[in-house]
A and B are shown apart, each in its own frame.
Chain A
Amino acid sequence: MRRSKSVLLALFAALALLAAACGGGDQLESGGGGEATTASGGSEGGELTAGTEALDGAQITVGSKDFDEQQILGYISVTALEAAGASVDDQVNLGGTDANRQALLSGQIQHYWEYTGTGWINHLGHTDPIPDREEQYNAVREEDLQENNLVWLAPAPFNNTYGLAFRSEAADQLGNPEALSDLGPLIENNPEQASLCVETEFESREDGLPGMEEQYGYEFPNSEVTGLDTGVIYSAIDKGDPCNFGEIFTTDGRIAALDLSVLEDDQSFFPLYNASPVFTRDVYEQYGEALEACFAPIAEALSQEQMTELNKRRSSDGERPQAVAESFLNDNDLLGGCEGG
């Protein structure tokens, strides 16, 4: 009885998986979800023109990913758009990268902040990043507009890329490394000290561990590499258990809070992850000018130091992301471009 039932179930599950495989594969190839119907119609693939309408009364749903920096960026957008008179549906902290991307492609949200490197590698499926900030941004902007009708506004200068860090108090024990190049001798002489914590993604990305090892000409011993959840890595390297070194994000507030030292990427290997406000084409063709005027000064003000400081206020001082976003915008008088629109 039960046996035949479970066989049926298994068969069903396998079929579903296979169907998902075939369907999913095709969808990714063609930049799935790009079928969002455009209200303006006929603008598919043609010239992009920034709309001139003021944001008064515009309906915009704002999403964000589910980590500190993204929540702050999400609320920066909510606050700015409301200041410009739009009526905002707050979907900040919507989910992971994929959830936001799919919601944007299907028109369930009209805006979230995305990183140039993520757009290029994760969404557009390239394996090799472009090392120049401006060129990387232009390449992403062009391709995502052509393929998916998404508009990337000017990016912020801060770069939330990968880095390797260790607990500062262990510097002596680890031979006082300052840059990634310094890890070569350590791996050579004390392989058991060269323990590394990484998240799943980092271990298989071109712009992650494999590429980094190739660029710097050394390889971490396989037995010393542990896969962990992104959030767990910070406390693991703070304790030095199970690893001395860990993969971190360079603007994370916990670096300062836990007194971690970040190794310099002395050969500029890691890709650029500059955050840019991304909008759907429909919204841009209606309100483009007002959006540019509103977001340009805000993005400009988000320097590396500024973003790290905002993240620290969220992650180690426990401030709410709304409060961090509002005080950042008000203290720096950054809402002028929005209200004037």
Chain B
Amino acid sequence: MSAPTQTDDGLDRRAQLDTQAARSEVRTDPDAMTTRQKLVHYASIPVFVTIVLVLLVVWLSGQELDSIEARNITLDNVLGQTQRHIYLTVLSTIIVVALAVPLGIVATRPGTRRLAPVIIGIGNAGQAIPSLGLLAIIFIAFGAVPVLPSTGVVPVVAALVAVSFLPILRNTMVGLDGVDRDILEAGSGMGMSQRQVLRKIELPLAIPVVLAGVRTALILNVGTATLAFLFGGGGLGFIIFTGFNLKRTPVLITGAVMAAVLALLVDYVGGLIEEWLKPKGL
């Protein structure tokens, strides 16, 4: 068993560099912080978001809303569509993780390593298609199959999955690939089976890189989900485009601010999960 060299293992150089970047990134380690640093570290985003929301409410209450604006800017409507947006984002991210992580593991096993470029290529294609185009293609494709609904949550989530599939797949493969071969050799030398090596050494060491991919996917999905309303998926895009189409600035701003705030919070929560799942001592 000779360890393959760094260049003929089916993964491109850029991926290699990414791994190094992900590993060598200076990370703030909460365990090594003073209480005050901790407070800043954990509270900055929530505080900022709160300020933005307060400013939004203050600005809105100073506006004379006409009936169209008043109908759109109700707590019910804004929170309802925000909830819907979160639902689409989280559901599609869960599905992607469930599909892409196992695929990434399979694609980096010795027997299937030659497939890696092909799999990455397919994932790349999914991400290269503009998301609106992808939604339209899925709408038409699902429309041609009688059993599949061409509107609503199903096609929208399918499109979100396709768009965010690649970052998670790629990071899984890159993360597993970046684990030092010598450590794996050492594991085998200690009498571990292939499976044990994967579970006890490879996956824990790959987790930071995989999670970075999950975070990227989440952010991508928040953005793409603003197009869901075109195909009956609802979400904040509904409010944004109502404001845009009817030239009602308060409605447009409300939708846009909520979407921006949501993206920030999702990234923040993703960061917390990353810290929490990261193996100690890395």
Chain A residues near B48 (CB-CB < 8 A): 7, 10-11
Number of A-B contacts defined by CB within 8 Å = 108
Judge if B150 is at the interface, Cβ distance under 8 Å: yes
Interface residues in B234-282 by Cβ distance below 8 A to A read 234, 238, 241-242, 244-247, 249-250, 253, 256-257, 260, 264, 267, 271
Contact of B45 among A7, A127, A235 (CB under 8 A): A7
Judge if A228 is at the interface, Cβ distance under 8 Å: yes
Which of B163-171, B182-190, B224-232 is the contact stretch? B224-232
Chain A residues near B34 (CB-CB < 8 A): none
Q: How far is the CA of A125 from the CA of B65 in the complex (A)?
A: 12
Judge if A204 is at the interface, Cβ distance under 8 Å: yes
Q: Across the two chains, which residue of chain A brings its CB closest to B239?
A: A200
Known: A28-B247, A200-B238. A227 touches B232 (CB 8 A): yes
Chain B residues near A228 (CB-CB < 8 A): 151, 230-232
How many residues on the B side are at the interface (Cβ–Cβ under 8 A)? 43
Judge if B35 is at the interface, Cβ distance under 8 Å: no
CB distance from B47 to the nearest CB of A (A): 10
Judge if B83 is at the interface, Cβ distance under 8 Å: no
Judge if B67 is at the interface, Cβ distance under 8 Å: yes
Contact of A18 among B55, B241, B246 (CB under 8 A): B55
Judge if B66 is at the interface, Cβ distance under 8 Å: yes
Q: How far is the CA of A204 from the CA of B69 in the complex (A)?
A: 8
Q: How far is the CA of A3 from the CA of B253 in the complex (A)?
A: 25
Judge if A98 is at the interface, Cβ distance under 8 Å: yes
Chain A residues near B5 (CB-CB < 8 A): none
Interface residues in A271-323 by Cβ distance below 8 A to B read none
Interface residues in A214-264 by Cβ distance below 8 A to B read 226-229, 232, 235-236, 239, 241-242
Judge if B71 is at the interface, Cβ distance under 8 Å: yes
Chain A residues near B242 (CB-CB < 8 A): 200-201, 203-204
Q: How far is the CA of A25 from the CA of B59 in the complex (A)?
A: 11
Interface residues in A18-74 by Cβ distance below 8 A to B read 18, 20-21, 24-25, 28
Judge if B33 is at the interface, Cβ distance under 8 Å: no
Interface residues in B82-99 by Cβ distance below 8 A to A read none
In the complex, the answer to whether B253 meets A123 with C-beta atoms within 8 Å is no
In the complex, the answer to whether B25 meets A21 with C-beta atoms within 8 Å is no
Chain B residues near A6 (CB-CB < 8 A): 264, 267
In the complex, the answer to whether A242 meets B245 with C-beta atoms within 8 Å is no
Chain B residues near A127 (CB-CB < 8 A): 66-68
Mark interface residues in A78-100 (1 if CB within 8 Å of B CB, else 0).
Answer: 00000000000000000011100
Q: Across the two chains, which residue of chain A brings its CB closest to B62?
A: A25
Q: How far is the CA of A46 from the CA of B63 in the complex (A)?
A: 32
* Best-buried of A11, A14, A96, A239 by chain B (most CB within 10 Å): A14
Mark interface residues in A190-218 (1 if CB within 8 Å of B CB, else 0).
Answer: 00000001001101111000100000000
CB distance from A148 to the nearest CB of B (A): 13
Q: Across the two chains, which residue of chain B brings its CB closest to A210?
A: B71
In the complex, the answer to whether A236 meets B151 with C-beta atoms within 8 Å is yes
7 extra interface residue pairs, beta carbon distance < 8 Å, beyond A1-B25, A10-B45:
A17-B260, A18-B55, A204-B246, A205-B246, A210-B71, A228-B151, A241-B149
9 contacts between A and B (CB under 8 A): A3-B44, A6-B267, A14-B257, A17-B256, A17-B260, A21-B253, A204-B71, A206-B67, A228-B231
